[in-house]
Amino acid sequence: MKLHKAGAAAAAALVLALTATACGGDSSDDSGSGSGGGGKIAIGIKFDQPGLGLKTPDGTFTGFDVDVATYIAKELGYDAKDIEWKQAPSAERENLIANGDVKFVAASYSINDERKQKVDFAGPYFLAHQDLLVRADDNSITKAADLNSKKLCSVTGSTSAQNVKEKLAPKAQLLEQGGYSECLTGLENKTVDALTTDDSILAGYAAQKEHAGKFKLAGLKLSDENYGIGLKKGDTKLLGQINDALKKMESDGSWQKAVTANFGPAGYKNEPAPAIG
């Protein structure tokens, strides 16, 4: 009799467990649904770009791309605490999207025809330009041609540096480093004369407290870089949702507030918010 009761209790427990699983499921990761509802969402950002996407020593994340992505996530139904930030190096952005590791990528991701073959882009949400960062007291570089007698620094494999070297100042002495921090050190120590990449990235570095007053942007527009939100190709529903979120961010003033907070200390003169879509 006792054995019969124990077996009945176990069977009842099993039925309850199966029912709960069928009805509720596991809500710990909702990154694929885009519906919010208390789940999680994985978003790709840069971890090493001050002003855009930076993981701080205390483990928090700051930057304009972080602010934009957080706003989009909110409009999709997710709280900030529901976001799982994933590092998205430039060479890995398409793979992260294609493999479903992230819902979308916001990582100074310039829209171009080659990338559009692999992913879809919402936006653009920011218009950047290739520019130069120089020392604050250096007035000798006012145009790209002035670099012909100067030492130019950028990161290894940079398309920005090659653009200057091949098209704008072929006699510039190009020095390639592993990271922008090495270029900044060289710029401060006067072993190089200028650093080149997107002006938004340069402004982010110049705006850091430890660099306050040391550097300035030359204000040259050497290329147009439209930053977009990368997402899985063919996901038209999510594309529309993100575009709607970006439009709302601009109209309610949150976009300009984020620009000012992240780039303002560098005296960066941003372009107006670009037209979405």
Task: Clarify whether residues 120 and 141 are in a common domain.
Answer: no
CA distance 255 to 249: 5
Q: Which residues pair with 95 in a beta bridge?
A: none
Task: Clarify whether residues 120 and 230 are in a common domain.
Answer: yes
Q: In the structure encoding, which two tokens stand for residue 80, read together?
A: 């900030």
Last residue of a domain, one of 217, 234, 258: 217
Nearest to 257 by CA among 77, 43, 67: 67
- Encode 133-144: b = buried (16+ Cβ within 10 Å), e = exposed: bbbeeeeebeeb
Task: Clarify whether residues 202 and 255 are in a common domain.
Answer: no
Task: Clarify whether residues 191 and 82 are in a common domain.
Answer: no
Q: Measured on CA atoms in the order 218, 49, 247, 256, is the torsion positive or negative?
A: negative
In a domain, 172, yes or no: yes
In a domain, 11, yes or no: no
In a domain, 5, yes or no: no
How many domains does one find in the chain? 2
Task: Clarify whether residues 135 and 213 are in a common domain.
Answer: yes
pLDDT value, residue 77: 97
Task: Clarify whether residues 114 and 250 are in a common domain.
Answer: yes
Spans of the chain below 70 pLDDT: 1-38, 157
Task: Clarify whether residues 99 and 147 are in a common domain.
Answer: no
Task: Clarify whether residues 211 and 241 are in a common domain.
Answer: no
Task: Clarify whether residues 60 and 74 are in a common domain.
Answer: yes
pLDDT value, residue 244: 98
List pLDDT tens digits, range 140-189.
999 999 999 999 999 886 778 888 989 999 999 999 888 888 999 999 99
Task: Clarify whether residues 123 and 97 are in a common domain.
Answer: yes
Burial of 18 by CB count in 10 Å (0-12 exposed, 13-18 middle, 19+ buried)? exposed
In a domain, 148, yes or no: yes
Tell me the CATH number at 205: 3.40.190.10
In a domain, 143, yes or no: yes
Full domain range(s) for residue 113: 41-128+225-266
Its pTM stands at: 0.78
CA distance 120 to 101: 16
In a domain, 201, yes or no: yes
Task: Clarify whether residues 112 and 142 are in a common domain.
Answer: no
In a domain, 245, yes or no: yes
CA distance 90 to 114: 14
Task: Clarify whether residues 89 and 206 are in a common domain.
Answer: no
Do 255 and 249 contact (CB within 8 A), yes or no? yes
In a domain, 240, yes or no: yes
